[in-house]
Amino acid sequence: MTITLAGVALRTLARSMIAMARVRAVGLDDVLRVKAAGRRILLVSWHGYDLCNLAVYPGLYGRESRAVIMAPMTWEGRVMEQLATGLGYDVIPIGADPSSPVSARGVVEMVSKIKDGCDGMIAVDGPAGPPEEAKLGAAVIAKRAAAIVVPTVVAGSREVRIRSRWDEHLLIPPGARMLMHFGPLIDTRPESDAAPSPEEIRERIETALREGAVRARAMLGPTTAATTRV
């Protein structure tokens, strides 16, 4: 399958998934409040939630909102680029090697885009794992952009996990309840307290995502046990 066809297929899947799921957002009001106050935001999540996050953003934040992601110039990354651009996102190319000059330029551009008003979105364990271990890059970007970090977790009353992928990518089947859990917010430039270091931000992101997943499943109830791995 070509990159373009794969991107179109994923885009169709993403739109269909959201159209047929019953989406509930917890903590969204807090995010909208800081956005209304003029603060910049960086939404952070696990890589396995990427399809859900990209699909649900326009409906939750409004068509007038602008969002930006980073995608490595690998085959998978270029498919993600096709998916995201088709959904209206800005996409910043980065190298497969995070220490490459291309990746360094991508970080600078990401910070600039967020400062200019785009909502940043980063999978903190991407692009290739290990799964659910937050890396430092998102914290550095958030601090340079003086952004509010928004940990974002997805859970479904029924879930499909693609076990052939390193991130066991999450899909929500038709008719299932889908819960988007945002927060707690992490201010990289608080007015009253000392600003956290990038490592402190990274640790808080990882903790928030892990604890958020537990809370999200508790909110959905015991039906979250219905997880299928394919």
Q: Comparing C-alpha atoms, which of 203, 214, 133, 144 is closest to residue 181?
A: 214
pLDDT digits (tens, 9 = 90+) for 114-170: 999 999 999 999 898 999 999 999 999 999 999 999 999 999 999 999 999 999 999
pLDDT digits (tens, 9 = 90+) for 156-194: 999 999 999 999 999 999 999 999 999 999 999 998 888
The pLDDT assigned to 191 comes to 85
Enumerate the domain spans of the chain. Answer: 3-229
Could you tell me the CATH superfamily of domain 3-229? Glycerol-3-phosphate (1)-acyltransferase (3.40.1130.10)
